Amino acid sequence: MFLGVDGGGTKTAFCLVDRGGQVVARAQAASSYYFSHGIELVERVLGEGVDAVCSAAELTPADIEYAFFGLPGYGEAARDLPVLNATPRAVLGHDRFACDNDMVCGWAGSLGAVDGINVISGTGSLAYGERLGRGVRVGGWSEMFGDEGSAHWIAVRGLNAFSRMSDGRLPEGPWPRCSGAIWISRPTST
């Protein structure tokens, strides 16, 4: 049995597959994004999810041959790495796992872990790709610093356009459309 864990800002997904690639069980837990709720959140969420997926498969964590934990925020604060790297050991009771940022899950899942680029645009946004074993990340630094193309980014720009239309700084009319990082306003007919 192999366990894949895809953590995120909205939820954390758990999936057990057998050697043939057949899904044996799935489970879902709360967000494992710890920057807003403290690093102890990660162990609680991972523990709940591992317990749930193992229970659904009628297995124990010891039955898991190997696990990969894609954790949101992993690698963004070097001081947190020792705790994040130790947390799966506490949950599984063994060392047969690896951890990395959750963006690696998106890349591996979308491209089958071959060279290419995966772009994520959901709660946050980022792009991650690998070529010849070398990975590169662009973006994903939170709504405060970027996350261009994310739901938050789009909503803020939409509300900004609405407020400018409401107080006369932008002509009322159809919502402006987004083209990259620049808002293009279409003229309205009079």
Mean pLDDT of 63-75: 94
Q: Which amino acid is at 104?
A: V
Supply the pLDDT for residue 118: 92
Is it the case that residue 128 has pLDDT exceeding 50?
yes
Is it the case that residue 115 has pLDDT exceeding 50?
yes
Please give the Cα distance from 100 to 84 (Å, whole number). 9
CA-derived radius of gyration, the chain: 20
Please give the Cα distance from 66 to 159 (Å, whole number). 45
Supply the pLDDT for residue 9: 82
User: Percent of the chain having pLDDT more than 90?
Assistant: 54
Mean pLDDT of 10-19: 96
- pTM to 2 decimals? 0.76
Mean pLDDT of 127-155: 84
Mean pLDDT of 163-180: 74
Name the 3-class secondary structure at 51. Answer: helix
Question: 96-132 burial by CB neighbour count: b if 16+ within 10 A, else e?
Answer: ebebbbbbbbbbbeeeeeeeeebbbbebbbbbbbbee
Q: pLDDT-derived band of residue 153, with 50, 70 and 90 as boundaries?
A: confident
